[in-house]
Structure 1
Amino acid sequence: MTRSFLLQQLELITPFQLYFNPELIFKHFQIWRLITNYLFFGPVGFNFLFNMIFLYRYCRMLEEGSFRGRTADFVFMFLFGGLLMTLFGLFVNLVFLGQAFTIMLVYVWSRRNPYVRMNFFGLLIFQAPFLPWVLMGFSLLLGNSIIVDLLGIAVGHIYFFLEDVFPNQPGGGRLLRTPSVLKAIFDMPEDDPNYNPLPEERPGGFAWGEGQRLGG
């Protein structure tokens, strides 16, 4: 993402080489557009910084929270969300989907942390599940199209429903299963339950590295 941004700012590439165009992808085999359309957030400005901050913040909180120790599942969520957005992108007039991807991450995090209180620029205080809708309203106030936000919310809701809601319903089950190849690549091998290492000495006798659960 950083490399793409630097190349664009140096004018070595242009947004016209990155945007989502089904005709160029499927007829002219410019396959890279399936990925690069997620890497462009516009020129440096408020909207760009806003997206970068939210993308970094909620990607990190998901990785360190509900996906802790589940890197393969985290990557699978990226692939599943990206695939759905690309399919939806065939039917709506959107050329860059990076902001929708950010909203998807925000939506999944907000639904998995429903009791966290949010403070939006010191103006609004609300529970986490309202955050994607507040962001959509803020985008509307800035004069932006809310189609991108709605797409991110829709894809985030589909993932959350299939992963967190439907499996817990009567007669439900897990429809989303992380492919074993992703687990082999990204997940660390499980520890041997019969292995009993010697106690690790901690400098100064303190329990270094212990933390609290996010939102706790």
Structure 2
Amino acid sequence: MMRGMGRVGDGNTPQEWFYSLPPITRSLLVAVLATTAACSFGIVSPFQLHLDWTRVWRGFEIWRLASNFVFFGTFSFPFLINLYLLVQYASRYEVSPFNTGAGGSSADFAWMLTIGCSLLAIASYFFGLPFMGQPMSFMIMYVWTRKNPDEMTSIFFFKFQAFYLPWAMLAFNLLIGNDIYLPLMGIAAGHVYYFLHYTAPAELGRDIIKTPTFMIELLGGTPTTPGSFRPRTAPTAPRAAAGGAAARPYAGHNWGSGNVLGAD
């Protein structure tokens, strides 16, 4: 199994570890375990959880919009891998997400999930995919790697920068004989979110993603200006240099701290 799972959510006992997880990650963990246990013991059927758009629209079974993301299948090795990815990288990202208006709090993480899962739900509609839990896990992992591209991580005994983790996990899925189209969908959704938050604002001159006020009030956080776009400032007036020579006027734009693409 991949190492480093204890880095976030450390605790001396399982109970301490559980309660040390950030709130949304903890809720996702409970939901995944509950749906898996319920289906494994025959309490509910997976057919009651999958995303069926006909039943959503005509039968008003709106729970399917959420339940399809938190069912990872019955207890198995793929289930453990997907649960690991979810808990590990959701907890890491939730404690320090991209600031989209809530000061880098759980509210920003919740808004990222809302946007990303909406994109995946649209993909589910067009491709007829019933469960999107694995893509959601890969989406969260991908966004975390774009937030922390230089952090060292590992798979088994192989250590590398976090930026390469999504592609290493794709290779791992191929090695164990799994399809990769669902993970690729998750990576694509994560990249769309990253593009809208980090890349597009620099081109458009304004922030696109902003965490709603109601979500900040519900989950906590400090309302702030999203951290992707910094407004341009007018060129400063030239000042006289020593010896009477005029200083060269500043002719550029104020784009912020000048982060390298892929870092924040």
Please confirm whether the aligned pair reaches a TM-score higher than 0.5, indicating the same fold.
yes
CA contact (8 A) 2:69 2:136 kept: yes
User: Does 1:182 pair with 2:229?
Assistant: no
* 1:150 corresponds to: 184
- Give the distance between the partners of 2:126 and 2:222, measured in 1 at CA: 41
Give the 4+ runs in structure 1 shifted more than 4 A: none
Task: State the Cα RMSD in Å.
Answer: 1.8
Q: Which runs of 5+ in 2 are unaligned?
A: 1-30, 224-264
Larger radius of gyration: 2
Question: What is the 5 A alignment of 1:1-216?
Answer: 1=31, 2-66=33-97, 70-122=105-157, 124-167=158-201, 169-188=202-221
Aligned residues: 188
Query: Following the alignment from structure 1 to structure 2, what is the Cα–Cα distance between the partners of residues 80 and 170?
Result: 21
One-letter code aligned to 1:26: W
Shift of 1:156: 0.3
> Which AA in structure 1 matches 2:131?
F
Q: Does the 8 Å CA contact 2:116/2:189 hold for their aligned counterparts? A: yes
| 1:121-159, Cα deviation, whole Å (9 max, x unpaired) | 11x332211111111121122222211111100110011
Q: Distance in 1 between matches of 2:56 and 2:47?
A: 13
Alpha-carbon distance, 1:188 to partner: 4.6
> Could you report, residue by residue, the CA deviation over 1:63-118 in whole angstroms, capped at 9, with x for unpaired residues?
12236752211111111111111011111132110010000010001111111222
Measure, in 1, the Cα distance between the counterparts of 2:163 and 2:199: 15
What TM-score does the superposition give when structure 1 sets the normalisation length? 0.80
Q: Is the 8 A contact 1:24 1:30 kept in 2?
A: yes
What residue ranges of structure 1 are gaps of 5+ in the alignment? 191-216
* Identity of matched residues, %: 35
Distance in 2 (alpha carbons) for counterparts of 1:24 and 1:171: 39
Task: State the 1:173 CA deviation.
Answer: 2.0
For normalisation by structure 2, the TM-score amounts to 0.66
